[in-house]
A and B are shown apart, each in its own frame.
Chain A
Amino acid sequence: GAGVSQSPSNKVTEKGKDVELRCDPISGHTALYWYRQRLGQGLEFLIYFQGNSAPDKSGLPSDRFSAERTGESVSTLTIQRTQQEDSAVYLCASSLASAITYEQYFGPGTRLTVT
């Protein structure tokens, strides 16, 4: 079946511009996660959505970052007034609520370059 998809695959933007990154999770997956991975580094958690519960925003690095999720489907990560340090691959993952161990399925990521 279809996996997690993300768009765009690559985004180049000028410093100070706003960007929106999109994630389409696997159908039926109620949990959705955003991570960031800077070049040569590990994954950093950003935000977590679970069904209709309030999202866990504890990983967002600043108030320039926000995310929304429409029901149990698409999510959008927005970065306002982008800075060069925002350059990274942004990864989205989803998982089933009924899975005991909640395996996460990752998308291919969006590579963001801020010039």
Chain B
Amino acid sequence: DAKTTQPNSMESNEEEPVHLPCNHSTISGTDYIHWYRQLPSQGPEYVIHGLTSNVNNRMASLAIAEDRKSSTLILHRATLRDAAVYYCILRRSGSARQLTFGSGTQLTVLP
């Protein structure tokens, strides 16, 4: 799977939007962009995924650049419970193989 690059850490104020960036300049046409997050002392949980178009679900939105070389996870109103490590991962379409986790972005939400 292609490599992704994320900032090590970010801070946000509670109830404000958060934009978590991810660069994936070597993405291939069949790679899906996945986001997982890991809350303290828990296993990772799936957040959202997309291929080309922007995606929304109850947890977040995913904005994908037109050239697909970068994407942004958007939390519309951060809460204290959103404090976690956020991982941006590329998965080849049709691949059920293991996820390759990088170091992710540690999001701190300030009250």
Contact B101 A42 (CB under 8 A): yes
Closest 6 CB pairs of A and B: A106-B43, A45-B98, A43-B101, A102-B96, A103-B46, A42-B101
Contact A103 B44 (CB under 8 A): no
Contact B93 A100 (CB under 8 A): yes
Q: How many residues of B contact A (CB 8 A)?
A: 22
Q: Which residues of A contact B91 (CB under 8 A)?
A: 101-102
Helix, strand, loop or mixed for chain B's interface? loop
The answer to whether the Cβ of B29 comes within 8 Å of any Cβ in the partner chain is: no
Chain A residues packing against B (C-beta within 8 Å) = 4, 31, 33, 35, 42-43, 45, 48, 50, 56, 59, 91, 93, 95, 97, 100-109
A-B contact pairs, 7 of them (CB 8 A): A4-B43, A48-B98, A93-B99, A100-B93, A104-B44, A107-B43, A108-B43
Chain B CB count within 10 A is highest, among A91, A106, A109, for A106
Q: Which residues of A contact B104 (CB under 8 A)?
A: 42
Contact B96 A50 (CB under 8 A): yes
Contact B43 A97 (CB under 8 A): no
Contact B45 A106 (CB under 8 A): yes
Least CB distance from B6 to A in Å reads: 11
